[in-house]
A and B are shown apart, each in its own frame.
Chain A
C-alpha cells in the first residue's frame, strides 16, 4: 500500500500536475502565472511545458483548444471562474462543439481550472459559482472537488480524459489539509459520487466545500436522532445519477445544498431526476438550499448570508421531517 501524506488541496493540485506531466509528455500547463506559481514544475519539465501567458483568457483557452486538437493535452489556469466568461467562445463554441460538428474528426483533451466560492470576501467578479453554465454546455465535463485527495484524483482523471473538463476549485478549500496518496496511479474516475456519511432518514447532496456544511449538519442531526446520508457529487457532469437515486430510494428524502444560485442549477436538475426516476420513494418534497439569484457581495456579513450554513440545513431537515410526520 502506498504512503498517505498530509497536504493541502493546493499541494494536491501541484502533485497531480507533476505526476501527469511525468507520465505523459503531451501534458503541459499554461496560464496567468502558471510558471510563476509552479517554479518546481518549470525546473522539472522546462519552460515549454509550464508557460506564463498574457492576462488574456480568450487566447489562453483558444490556444488550448487548438493545441488539444493537434495532439497535446493542455491544462490551463484561468485563475478565477468569472474570468472564464472571457473564454466562453473557446470553451463552449470550439471545445464543446467542434468535435461534434466535425463528425468526430477531433478531440479536445484539455482541462480549464478556475477558482470560485465564498470565504474570501472578493466580491462577485472573482466569486461566482458558474459551474452549472458548463453543465448546460454540450461536449464538456465539469468537476468540483471537496477534499485534497479528490483534488489530486479528479485532476488526474480530468487530464487523462479525452474531453474538455472544467475543473472548479472552491477557494476556501485550497489551504485545507487532508490525506493524499502518493500513488501515481490513483485516480478518481469522472462521474463517480462519494457517500461521505451513511444515513437512513434523509439524503443531503452537495459538492465542493458545502459537503463539509452538510457533514456538520448531519452530526447535529444525529444528536437529535436523525440519520442523514451525505453524498458528495464530485463530478457535476457526468452526474452520478445512480448514487443519488439509490440513496433517495433508501432515505425517501432529498435535500440538495450548494452555493451556486438555484435557478436551473444542479439542485433543480437533481429534483427533476429524483421526481422522474424515484418518485414512489419520496416521502416529502425535494428541498433546495442554494445561493440567491444575486451577485455575491464582498461584505463578510452578506457573503455569509449567501452560504448555506449548517443551521439552515438542520432547520430545513427538521421542517421536512416534521411535515412528513404530520402527513403520516
Chain B
C-alpha cells in the first residue's frame, strides 16, 4: 500500500489545505449549475477534516461518508482524480462508478465510504477489529467520520457499544454540522445529546469548536494518543456548520439568514487566516498569492477531469463480484 502523504506540519499548511478543499467544492458547485451531478459539500466544515487528518498517521485508516471531500483532500487525494470521479470518468479514484457520494481511496487509507447515513458507523468497528486482530499496520487506528444525523440512527449506539465492549482502536468523529438533510438537529435531538449519549457508553468524549483547525488537531491528537496507548476507543464531537445546502442544488430557503450570518462570521478559513496574520505567518499579499495558486491548481484539475475518458459501456458489470 502506498504511503499517505506526510502530515501537514504547520498551521499554514492547514490553511492551504482548507483553501484547496473549499476551492474544489466551489468548483463542483459551479459544475453542477452547468449540469454536472450534484454533490454534498462540506463547505464550512474544512477545519474538522484538516484538524483530525493532521493528527492521523499514514498507518491509520479512515472510514467516511458522503460529505467526504475534506477528509479525502486532507489525506492527500488529488483534486483532479476526485473531480474525474465526480464527473464519472475512468481516472476517478473509483473509475467513475462512485461519483461524489461514496469515494474511497484505498491507497490513501480512506478505506470504506458509505452514503447511507450510519453505514460508516456500521463498518468502522470491523475495520478496527481487523486492525486489532493484526491485519493493519502495527499500531494503526481507525477514524470514522459521521454527522449529527447519523447520531440519531440506532447503529450509532450499536457501534459505540461494540467498540467499547471489544476495546477497538477506533476514533469516533462526529461533525455536528447542525443540519440533518433538511431538518435542524434541534428538531430531532436535545441539545448536547451527542456528547451525552457517547458519554453514556463509557468512553472519553470531548466536544470541540469544529471551526478551529488547531483546536481540532489538538483534541484529535489527544484522543488518538489515548487510543494508541490503551487500544480503546475515543469520541470527538466537532461543533461546526454546514454552510451550504444538503445537496447541490439547494437554495437553503429553509435556513434563517441570521443563522447563516452567525456561522459565516465563524468561518473556519477566516479563523485560520486571522490566527496566521496575528502570528505574522501570512499577510494580505501572501493570502492572495495562496488563493491564486489554489485556483490555478483547481483549474488544472478540472481540465484533467473533463478530458478524462468515459468508462466503456462493456465494463458495466466489472467489479460486481470478486
Residue ranges of A at the interface with B (Cβ–Cβ < 8 Å):
26, 28, 48, 53-54, 56, 58-59, 61-72, 74, 89-90, 93-94, 98-109, 138-139, 141, 162-163
- Set of chain B residues within 8 Å of A109, measured between Cβ atoms: 322
Residues of B close to A62: CB separation below 8 A: 119, 121-123, 125-126, 155, 158-159
Closest to B98 in A: A101
Inter-chain CA distance A108–B94, complex, in Å, is 16
A26 to chain B, nearest CB (A): 8
Does B122 contact A99, Cβ atoms closer than 8 Å? Answer: no
Question: Are A58 and B155 interface neighbours, CB within 8 A?
Answer: yes
Contact pick for B122, options A54, A58, A74, CB 8 Å: A58
Instruction: Give the distance in Å from the alpha carbon of A107 to the alpha carbon of B114 in the complex.
Output: 15
Contact of B97 among A54, A90, A100 (CB under 8 A): A100
Task: Report whether B116 and A89 are in contact in the complex, using a CB–CB cutoff of 8 Å.
Answer: yes
Q: Does B320 lie within 8 Å of A139, measured CB to CB?
A: yes
Q: Are B126 and A64 in contact, CB atoms less than 8 angstroms apart?
A: yes
B64 at the interface (CB under 8 A from A): no
Q: Are A94 and B111 in contact (CB under 8 A)?
A: no
- B127/A66 in contact, CB under 8 A: yes
Contact B116–A70 (Cβ < 8 Å): no
Q: State the CA gap A103–B105 with chains docked (Å).
A: 10
Contact of A105 among B94, B118, B121 (CB under 8 A): B94
State how many angstroms separate the Cβ of B45 from the closest Cβ of chain A.
23
**New A-B pairs, 20, CB < 8 Å, besides A66-B126, A100-B319:** A58-B154, A59-B155, A59-B159, A59-B162, A62-B121, A62-B123, A62-B155, A65-B126, A66-B63, A66-B123, A70-B61, A70-B131, A71-B130, A71-B135, A93-B116, A94-B112, A101-B94, A102-B97, A104-B318, A162-B322
Closest chain A residue to B114, Cβ basis:
A94
Contact of A58 with B158 in the complex, beta carbons under 8 Å: yes
Q: How far is the CB of B40 from chain A (nearest CB, A)?
A: 15
Whether A90 lies near B161 (C-beta < 8 A) is no
**Is A63 a contact of B126 with CB atoms below 8 Å?**
yes
Whether A70 pairs with B136 at a CB distance below 8 angstroms is: yes
Q: Does B129 contact A (CB under 8 A)?
A: yes
Q: Mark B73-102, 1 if CB is under 8 A from A, else 0.
A: 000000000000000000011111110001
Collect the chain B residues with CB atoms within 8 Å of residue A28's CB.
Answer: 133
B126 with A101: CB separation less than 8 A: no
User: Is B104 interfacial (CB 8 A cutoff)?
Assistant: yes
CA distance A102 to B111 in the complex (A): 10
B300, CB-defined interface residue at 8 Å: no
A169 to chain B, nearest CB (A): 23
9 inter-chain pairs at a CB distance below 8 angstroms, sorted by A residue, are A54-B158, A54-B161, A59-B162, A62-B155, A63-B123, A69-B126, A70-B111, A70-B127, A103-B97
Q: Is B219 an interface residue (CB 8 A)?
A: no
Does residue B254 face the partner (Cβ distance < 8 Å to A)? no
B280-322 interface with A by 8 A CB criterion: 318-322
Contact status A103-B129, CB under 8 Å: no
Task: Give min CB distance, A211 to chain B, whole Å.
Answer: 26
> Which B residues lie within 8 Å of A48 (CB)?
133
Task: Please tell me if the beta carbons of A67 and B119 are within 8 angstroms of each other in the complex.
Answer: no
Contact partners of A67 in chain B: CB under 8 A: 126-127, 129-130, 133, 135
A142 to B124, CA, bound (A): 25
| Docked-complex contact B118 and A102, CB < 8 angstroms | no
**A108, B127: Cα distance in complex, Å:** 12
Report A-chain residues with C-beta under 8 Å of the C-beta of B95: 103-104
With a cutoff of 8 Å between Cβ atoms, the chain A residues found around residue B118 in the complex are: 89
CA distance A291 to B105 in the complex (A): 45
Q: Please, how many angstroms separate the alpha-carbon atoms of A328 and B107 in the complex?
A: 66
The answer to whether B104 touches A98, judged by C-beta atoms less than 8 angstroms apart, is yes
Q: Is the CB of B322 within 8 A of A163?
A: yes
Chain A contacts for B185, CB-based, 8 A? none
Closest to B127 in A: A66
The interface residues of chain B lying within 8 Å CB-to-CB of A56 are: 158, 161-162
Q: Least Cβ distance of A293 to chain B in Å?
A: 29
Closest to B321 in A: A163
The answer to whether A100 touches B322, judged by C-beta atoms less than 8 angstroms apart, is no
> Is B13 an interface residue, CB under 8 A from the partner?
no
B165 within 8 A of A: yes
Which residues from A are CB-within-8-Å of B131? 70
Q: From B102, B125, B320, give the contact of A63 (CB < 8 A).
A: B125
Distance A41 CA – B93 CA, assembled complex (angstroms): 41
**Known A64-B126, A66-B123, A90-B123; contact A54-B162, beta-carbon cutoff 8 A:** yes
Chain A CB within 8 A of B199 CB = no
The answer, yes or no, to whether B59 is at the interface (CB within 8 Å) is no
Output the nearest chain B residue to A26 by Cβ-Cβ distance.
Answer: B135
B104's nearest neighbour on chain A, judged by CB, is A102
B106 at the interface (CB under 8 A from A): yes
CA A153 to CA B189, docked complex, whole Å: 50
Q: Is the CB of A138 within 8 A of B320?
A: yes
Return the 6 tightest CB-CB contacts between A and B, nearest first. Answer: A66-B126, A62-B122, A70-B130, A103-B95, A59-B158, A162-B322
